[in-house]
Amino acid sequence: MKRFILKRLGYALISLVLLSVTIFLFVRLTGDPAVLLVEPGASQADIDAIRVQFGLDRPLWVQYGHFAMSLLRGDLGHSFYYRTPVLELYLSRLPYSLLLAAAAMAFSLVIGIPTGIIAAVRVNRWWDSAGKVFALLGLSLPSFWVGLLLILFFSVYLGWLPSSGSGSAAHVVMPAFALGWYFAAAHMRLTRSSMLDVLGSEYVKLARLKGLPEALVISKHAFKNALIPVLTLAGINLVIMVNVAVVVETVFAWPGVGRLLAEGIAFRDFPVVQATVILGGAMIVIVNLLVDILYAVIDPRIRLER
């Protein structure tokens, strides 16, 4: 198991480095970085000053060196708008995004897994067809539109739920639903196909040959095995949710990092934009690594391997 973990760690590090290089290159190679790195409305003198400050006239690899060093120090720049270090800003908003993502993930699993299992057990019958329609709708309805429709029904017409802000549990319901909607469909699809694979396996056949009641075959032998890929995906999706929540957070004025990104765009606050993307990407790489490690712990085949 140790070797497995070390290997994954290595991959994660490579990904992180590549991520930073990509972001770095994009800013340097497209457009004029100096314009981005100054506040909107700066004078030409300011722009020139920034050029010197960031060493934009130096060779690329020197610039990257500075860039990487500051990243490692935790210096991701200062927000023009908020006048605070971006990292601080990001970390203060992160809990909200995590809360939203957790709620959306819970929703998507609670809906997705059971529907997927039932669709697989009752494959090609009514419930499966309904599941397919659900999956299709999940893919086709943009999350922010779902959010807007929810506001229309539950805030404007029915007045049951608040349309923005983050004060109470009621505030989380609609954003979580809108964000989780797409993932519920994705999880359902994966659960269904994973379950179908498992139901066709030899050990399930043997379980039936043992004369076990069907409910036990499904709940004990099939379920646990089928869940492995789904939970792996769910772990990764959690972090993805944090990142793609930008539109949902904007719709509901939810004070998470997604909204921070949207503000960065609206206010032309480039350090915020850059940092959000880097941190978001880094989170995904790290969570991928953690999920792999968790996998190693749970699956006895990997755990007991030398």
Partner 1 sequence: MTSRSATLTVAWRLASFRSEGFPLIAMSILGGLLFIAVFANVLAPHDPEVGSLGERFRPPFWQQGGSEKFLLGSDHLGRDVLSRLIFGARVSIVVAFTAVLFAGVVGTVLGILSGYLGGWVDQVIMRVTDAWLAIPALTYAIFLAAVVGPSEMNIVIILGLVYWTRYARVIRGEVLSLKERDFVRLAIVAGCSKRTIMKRHILPNVLNSAIVLGTLMLGVVVVTEAALSFLGVGVPPPKPAWGLMLADGKKGLMAGYWWLTVLPGCCIMLMVLSANLLGDWLRVKFDPQLRQL
Partner 2 sequence: MSDAPLLELRKLSTHYVSARGTRVVRAVDEVSLTLAPGSTLGVVGESGSGKSTLALTILRLLPPAAKIVSGEILFEGEDLLTKSDVEMRRVRGKRIAMILQDPMASLNPLFTIGDQVSEPLRVHEGVGRRSAWSRATDLLKAVRIPAPEARVREYPHQMSGGMRQRIVGAIAISCAPRLLIADEPTTSLDLTIQAQYLNLLRDLQREHRLALIFITHNLGIVAKMCDQVAVMYGGRLVEWGPVTRIFDAPAHPYTRALLESIPRMGDGRERLTAIEGQPPDLAAPPTGCAFHPRCPQAMSRCREEAPPETGLGPSHTARCWLNVPAAGPTAAPTATR
Cα distance between residue 229 and residue 39, in whole Å: 46
* Nearer to partner 2 among residue 4 and residue 54 (C-beta): 4
Binding-site partner at residue 304 among partner 2, partner 1, none, CB < 5 to 8 Å by type: partner 2
Does 225 bind partner 2 (CB under 8 A)? Our answer is yes
DSSP, collapsed to helix, strand or coil, labels residue 191 as: helix
* Cβ closest to partner 1, residue 22 vs residue 92: 22
The contacts of residue 108 (CB under 8 Å, 6+ apart) are 180, 181, 183, 184, 186, 187, 234, 237
Q: Does 140 bind partner 1 (CB under 8 A)?
A: yes
**By CB under 8 A, is residue 196 in contact with partner 1?**
no
Asked whether position 230 contacts partner 2 by CB under 8 A, the answer is no
Q: Is there binding between residue 224 and partner 2 (CB under 8 A)?
A: yes
Residue 57 tokens read as: 């006239």
Report yes or no: 171 and 163 within 8 Å, Cβ to Cβ: no
CB under 5 to 8 A by kind: which of partner 1, partner 2, none does 237 bind?
Answer: none
Residue 305 CA to residue 84 CA, distance in Å, equals 48
Angle between helix 86-121 and 270-298 (nearest 10): 40
24 interacts with partner 1 by CB under 8 A:
no
Indicate which single residue of 26, 136, 203, 266 sits in contact with partner 2 (rule: CB under 8 A).
203
For residue 82, what are its two tokens? 């908020």
Does the footprint of partner 1 cover residue 200 (CB under 8 A)?
no
Tokens 């610039």, residue? 63
User: Does residue 192 belong to the site contacting partner 2 (CB under 8 A)?
Assistant: no
Answer for which of 149, 206, 216, 298 binds partner 1 (CB under 8 A) is 149
